Amino acid sequence: MDQSLHERLHLALEQQRRAFEVERMPSYAVRRDRLQRLLDMTAKHGDALAAAMSQDFGHRARQESLLADVFTVESGARHAIRQLKKWMKARRVATPLHFLPGRNVLMRQPLGVVGVVAPWNYPYYLAMEPAVAALAAGNRVLIKPSELTPATSALMARIVSEHFAPEEMQVITGDAEVGKAFTQLPFDHLFFTGSTAVGRHVAQAAAKNLTPVTLELGGKSPALVDRSCNLELTASRLAFGKLFNAGQTCVAPDYLLVPREMVEPLAKKILEEMRRMYPAIANNPDYSSIATPRHHARLQQLLDDAEAKGARVLRSHVEQPQDRRLVPALLLDVNPSMTVMQEEIFGPLLPVIGYERVDDAIAHINRGERPLALYWFGQDSAARDHVMRQTHAGGVTINDCLWHLGQEEQPFGGVGASGMGSYHGEWGFRTFSKEKPLFIQSRFAGTRLFQPPYGATFERLLGLLKKL
């Protein structure tokens, strides 16, 4: 990385830091205005953003971009605007009896300058949803979008510069070296969405500055099918969850755990649902491409490796697209030696594993790293609760896929190797705030009785406190 780019990054950070020093606690009106501008920007440029994402992907379904990238940001911004006054308000906190008549107050302050590193799979949403929370909390924001979505990144940089002063929010484009240098800046908080492998490097870079981090990572998210499930409904919702954005979703179901006797009938239904949703793959405007040639080749290698090691591959369609659209496939008879069972797939391939007892399925989940998402399908609430108690996951959707991601009243985040920290709604506001405890002492407090010289009075009072 050349010196001029290094200086540009530090100048951008310092410009925002100086602006924050002048306005350490932005008012409700200022924060609301920033959120409204972000909302207006998203609504105004939604179609252009969808077109840019399609250009970057080779083809991306316009409806998927409008739903997953544009609508989600609009929804998050509207929710923040509605709730902002409540989130900002200092809160009375219970005070123990022996500290009365003093009182406790919890004050939320912005941290300062927040860095956001966004990935390529949902390039606008995963840049702007964290920005919504950071702006609501009163921070300044620097965003580094993915170099793998150059058209979208360039458009984001332009529209942000049109709606925000650079000391409020700024997009910095560039290659992987720029991204590496970006994560080494001394932010007040760094928010990263991406792979677990890269997340480890980001955490190490941030640690040198003692920069707190939120890591939204990934992993192999399982879908566990119970014998009590509705087969047709389960098949339809699994097909949708797996093929949305051609499977390039951090919370896409990565593999299925299915009662052994249900493997064949469920596989048949899933393939039928895939064909119903996508009657054709080639040239189908509803079906998205794999974003890059490298990722397309990787998925093909996963498929070839599994087939060579004995997997039974059931393709949804017989056609062979000439572009980067990849035909969906179910993989049966998989085993742990296959690379597809070791890495996060991030594409329209879905391994299916049969189980005899649900505890065997639970043991399989727990042998792996803790996933970002878990899906359970069934009608038996006792069986559901057993699985929920015995497994860990960043978030869960019951009898569907993906939708827990859209809940603004719930935290979204990983656990273990799938991430740390959370955001969405008030949870994001809290992530980008310092919750500062204030204890306000009363003039009538008896604390003088605990001052030296110590003696019998001190001992009696300490004994009394132990009994409260």
Measured distance CA(135)–CA(122) in Å, rounded: 20
Question: DSSP states of 182-214 as a string?
Answer: HHTS--SEEEEES-HHHHHHHHHHHHTTT--EE
Which of 64, 129, 250, 273 is an active site residue?
250
Which residues sit opposite 213 in a β-bridge? 190
Which residues sit opposite 358 in a β-bridge? none
> How many residues in the chain?
468
- To the query of whether residue 229 is one of the catalytic residues in this protein, the response is no
- Is the CB of residue 57 less than 8 Å from the CB of residue 291? yes
With tokens 């639970």, the residue in question is 362
DSSP code of 228?
A: T
Which of 64, 74, 168, 216 is an active site residue?
216
- To the query of whether residue 250 is one of the catalytic residues in this protein, the response is yes
Which residues sit opposite 440 in a β-bridge? 103
Nearest C-alpha neighbor of 290 from the set 151, 120, 145, 418: 120
Would you report the helix, strand and coil content of the chain in percent, each value rounded to 5? Answer: 50, 15, 35
Sign of the torsion angle spanned by Cα atoms 436, 77, 203, 253: positive
Please, what is the angle between helix 125-136 and helix 28-57, to 10°?
A: 170
Measured distance CA(429)–CA(408) in Å, rounded: 11
Measured distance CA(425)–CA(432) in Å, rounded: 11
**Spatial strand order in the sheet of 419-420:** 169-171, 140-144, 113-117, 189-193, 213-216, 419-420
Which tokens in the block code for residue 390? 């015995």
Measured distance CA(301)–CA(89) in Å, rounded: 53
Task: Look at residue 27 and give its three-state secondary structure.
Answer: coil
Cα dihedral: 451, 456, 457, 461 (round 10): 100
Task: Look at residue 103 and give its three-state secondary structure.
Answer: strand
With tokens 């001029």, the residue in question is 4
Positions marked catalytic? 216, 250
